[in-house]
Amino acid sequence: MRVTVRGFDIYKAYLDPEQQAGLVADIRQVAEAAPMFSPETPYGKPMSVRMTSAGALGWYADRSGYRYADKHPSGVDWPPIPDAVLRLWHDLTGLEKAPDCCLINYYGEGARMGMHQDRDEADFKWPVLSVSLGDAGLFRIGNTTRGGKTESLWLESGDVMIMGGDARLTYHGLDRIRLGSSSLLPYGGRLNLTCRVARGIL
Ligand code: SIN
Ligand code: FE2
């Protein structure tokens, strides 16, 4: 079933439990090679979300700002994007072009992400694909400028969402998770993958 909220296309229960478990195994491998960390925001506060990336580039933040980096903070390359994730991207976006970053966010108890635009990429014509795994997360969708009325919806394990077109620069955030609502992850919490084309052609 597909629902569209303010231009965000949400495919509810797109992944069956077996596919979800397969993705978790893939992500575990990525996180073994490139361990999760909590980046510091430019304001000097650690983010409550833990993250790592797969692909040529990984998303990174510290006091000098938000950006893509070609290495994990430990100095190792980011692991390749798992095949199953690439297949999902191509199936759902219909694009031949591959993403060059798959950001992996982990929300434990109390973790959240404030309202923001995804705007560290070179070209906003490419969509962002989002995959939710584990505990449900309350996702908030705003407007293309900061503020204004928002709408919230629960993203559940196996839901896949595309943020593209006019919605590509819509503000969004994750208010909270419903801890223990899924048994996919052994210790609970929520994983969110976002695949992006970060680099431009130059
Ligand atoms: C993000 O906007 O980067 C993450 C959204 C989510 O966790 O669903
Ligand atoms: Fe985002």
pLDDT digits (tens, 9 = 90+) for 74-119: 999 999 999 999 999 999 999 999 999 999 999 999 999 999 999 9
Residues that place a CB less than 5 A from ion ligand 2: 118
The 3-state DSSP class for residue 55 equals coil
Can you give 68-87 as a three-state secondary structure string? EECCCCCCCCCCCCCHHHHH
CA 88 – ligand 1 centroid, Å? 17
Mean pLDDT of the chain: 96
- For the cut 90, the answer to whether the pLDDT of residue 35 exceeds it is yes
Task: Check residue 162 and give its pLDDT.
Answer: 98
Ligand 1 atom closest to Cα of 132?
A: 8
Task: Check residue 41 and give its pLDDT.
Answer: 86
Nearest ligand by distance to the CA of 117:
2
What angle (nearest 5°) sits at the alpha carbon of residue 93, between those of residues 65 and 76?
40
- For the cut 80, the answer to whether the pLDDT of residue 202 exceeds it is no
Ligand 1 atom closest to Cα of 49?
A: 7
- The closest of 123, 91, 120, 97 to 11, measured between CA atoms, is 91
What lines the ligand 1 site, CB under 6 Å? 105, 113, 130, 137, 139, 155, 172, 174, 192, 194
pLDDT digits (tens, 9 = 90+) for 39-74: 998 888 899 999 999 999 999 998 888 999 999 999
Q: Structurally, what CATH architecture does the domain formed by 2-149+162-196 represent?
A: Sandwich (2.60)
Task: Check residue 156 and give its pLDDT.
Answer: 98
CA 16 – ligand 2 centroid, Å? 24
CB 106 within 8 A of CB 51: yes
For the chain, what are the domain ranges? 2-149+162-196
- For the cut 80, the answer to whether the pLDDT of residue 184 exceeds it is yes
